[in-house]
Amino acid sequence: MKFENDFSLKPYNTFGIDVKAKHFARFDSVQELQELLQRPAIKEEPKLILGGGSNVLFTKDFEGIVLLNGIKGMQVLHEDSNYTYVRAGGGEIWHDLVLFCLEHNLGGIENMSLIPGTVGAAPLQNIGAYGAELKDVFQELEAVHLETGEVHTFDNMACQFGYRESVFKHRLKGQYVVTSVTLRLRKAHELNTSYGAIHTTLQEMQVQQPTIHDVSAAVCHIRRSKLPDPAQIGNAGSFFKNPEIPVLLFDVLKEKHPDMPAYPVSEASVKVPAGWLIEQCGWKGKVIDNYGVHKNQALVLVNYGGAKGEKLVELAYDIIHSVQEKFGITLQPEVNIL
């Protein structure tokens, strides 16, 4: 266990924002976390659980205790006739779990290669990319209740997954620390190469009969070419969610903007890429002092070094405002603004 006071969070958020936490502790096991939660000095403090810090934007110092999940371990638990079950500690890096599964020839999360962040954070926003979502392979998670220190198990239903959503962002917000996640991976690989960019990249790679390894390689290639590496340029991936709008509104907008892309969600609604909306408003590649909008993907806000969180929030609101003005659509941040 590690315990610090007045501690810089700069290395612990991928935006690289330099703020401080009043207290900071890293726990490496469920027992260490339970022990921490019982300390009288900590019991009353506001708490923030950090994984990879890849989905937060700090705008001020955190006047409480930041708990960093350091619980490691990955194992194949057991298998039945159709599935193999894999469990990973909440503090594991998500992409390391992808690599573990590839090494064991287990398919199901290869499309989610290179998503930044930790295993414990993955269910909170039901991470997803290139046609796959965590919920499709999720079996259960274990989580420690911050008030009681009890360990509770949540199955797929109990997590109430949606697009970048779960019960942990709503009714149970801030109440639990996810200590392990168990995946249920289908033994017969079902590749998902429907996403246009994957298909094209596999063709460029001259792969005729792709394996899960090829799909992962293609996804890594696409992500590296489009998305900035947080180790080089501070960012938190998609800053906004792709908005879901009624088909009726889409039909009206399409008359004015014939190129407007959309993906069906249901009979009555479609999802519009926020990146497209933002680009249409002229923001793509915009640099303001030491921060801005990424040049290859307008959905990603970037800190070129030393930017303040408030400035990025200001930029986010300017973007929301201009998309609202031009299209009548209100973008919602995907990133947690603290």
Would you name the residues annotated as active-site residues? Answer: 164, 238, 334
Please, what is the minimum distance in Å from the beta carbon of residue 132 to ligand EPU?
A: 8
Q: How many CB atoms lie within 10 A of CB 187?
A: 14
CA distance 138 to 114: 18
Minimal distance, residue 332 CB to ligand EPU, in Å: 10
Spatial CA neighbour of 122 closest among 164, 85, 61: 164
- Say whether residue 334 binds ligand EPU (CB under 6 A): yes
Q: DSSP states of 151-194 as a string? A: EEEEEHHHHT-BTTB-GGGTTTTTTEEEEEEEEEEESS------
DSSP string, 258-303: TT---EE-SSSEEE--HHHHHHHTT-TT-EETTEEE-SS-TTEEEE
Least distance CB 244 / ligand EPU (angstroms): 11
Q: Does 242 bind ligand EPU (CB under 6 A)?
A: yes
- In what side-by-side order are the strands of the sheet with 244-246? 244-246, 269-271, 263-264
CB 285 within 8 A of CB 293: yes
Any contact of residue 84 with ligand EPU (CB under 6 A)?
no
- Both tokens of 294, joined, read 């990424």
Selected from 130, 138, 161, 291, the binder of ligand EPU by CB under 6 A is 130
CB of 241 to ligand EPU, least distance (A): 5
- Of the two residues 86 and 298, which places its CB atom closer to ligand EPU in the complex? 298
Report, in Å, the least distance between residue 134 CB and ligand EPU.
Answer: 12
d(CA 318, CA 219): 31
The residue from 74, 298, 319, 331 that contacts ligand EPU (CB under 6 A) is 298
Decide: is 94 part of the binding site for ligand EPU (CB under 6 A).
Answer: no
Q: Among residues 158 and 220, whose Cβ is nearest to ligand EPU? A: 220
Closer CB to ligand EPU, residue 84 or residue 297? 297
Residue 281 CB, nearest distance to ligand EPU (Å)? Answer: 11
In the stretch 278-297, what mask flags binding to ligand EPU with x, by CB under 6 A? -x----x------------x
Q: Judge contact between 160 and 86, C-beta under 8 A.
A: no
Q: Which of 49, 238, 262, 315 binds ligand EPU (CB under 6 A)?
A: 238
Q: How far is the CB of 163 from ligand EPU (least distance, A)?
A: 7
3-state secondary structure of 222: helix
One residue of 129, 134, 281, 323 binding ligand EPU per CB under 6 A: 129
* Site for ligand EPU contains 273 (CB under 6 A): yes
Site residues (CB under 6 A) for ligand EPU, limited to 11-40: none
What angle separates helix 196-204 from helix 212-226, to the nearest 10 degrees?
110
Give SS3 for 140: strand
| Residues contacting ligand EPU: total by CB under 6 A | 18
Q: Number of helices (H) and strands (E), helices first, in the chain?
A: 9, 20
Helix axes 94-103, 212-226, angle to 10 degrees: 150
Residue type, 234: G
| Pairing status of strand 20-27 against strand 62-69 | parallel
Interface pattern 142-181 for ligand EPU (x via CB under 6 A): ----------------------------------------
Among 16, 53, 91, 237, indicate the residue that binds ligand EPU (CB under 6 A). 237
| Residue 276 binding ligand EPU, by CB under 6 A | yes
Q: CB nearer to ligand EPU: give 184 or 241.
A: 241
Interface residues toward ligand EPU, by CB under 6 A = 129-130, 226-227, 237-238, 241-242, 261, 273, 275-276, 279, 284, 297-299, 334
